[in-house]
Amino acid sequence: MRDYQSPPKCIDKIYMEWYETYKRIGRFKTENGLDIALCFPKPLIYGLDDGDILYLDSKFGIIVEIVPCEVLSIQWGNKLEIAKLCYEIGNAHIPLFVSSLKNEFYIPYEKTLENTLTKLGFLTEKILTKLHPKQRFYVSLPILPEPRFILSPDFKITIKTAH
């Protein structure tokens, strides 16, 4: 909003948890009590981010604010540690976020994973921060349509029996 030459007089906010920023359909109350229903025509690829404008006219605007949450900050030192870290996080199916600091990743806080990573020698710290969708790692886009298979007109299944 600060980039606009004449921002509206009233700015209202929708506070969202990091995992709510990916929802295609949702119902929220703004900071001033306005009931808002969001319905996007397609699933969000990267999610709504902090400061995204949902509505704007000359008098009124609604923006997104991501709520800070408990996060596990994980320090790493070399490529082998990154591989170990990615294995453990992938095994737990937990999203991984890039920190703005060098050699650090964030994950939503989980005590059991903190214990595991500490045993593996990682420096970890529980902090309160915002998890931004644009800082999340994606191996593949989760919302691509399933492939559509079509049988060929000459498709056959042959069952051979052993003699």
Q: Please state whether beta strands 35-39 and 60-66 pair in parallel, antiparallel, or not at all (unpaired).
A: unpaired
Average pLDDT, the chain: 85
Determine the pLDDT at residue 6.
65
Dist CA 13 CA 61 (whole Å)? 8
pLDDT above 90: residue 118: yes
Distances (CA, A) of 125 to 20, 65, 79, 99, 113: 24, 24, 20, 13, 12
Q: What is the rounded CA–CA span in Å between residue 48 and residue 88?
A: 27
User: What digits encode the pLDDT tens for the residues 122-153?
Assistant: 999 999 999 998 888 866 555 555 556 676 77
Structure-block tokens of residue 42: 């397609």
Q: What confidence score (pLDDT) does residue 91 get? A: 86
Percent of the chain at pLDDT > 90 equals 43
Of the candidates 16, 17, 18, 50, the residue with the CA atom closest to the CA atom of residue 36: 16
Please give the domain boundaries of the chain with CATH numbers for all domains: 10-66 (2.60.260.20), 69-135 (3.30.70.790)
Q: Is residue 110 scored above 60 in pLDDT?
A: yes
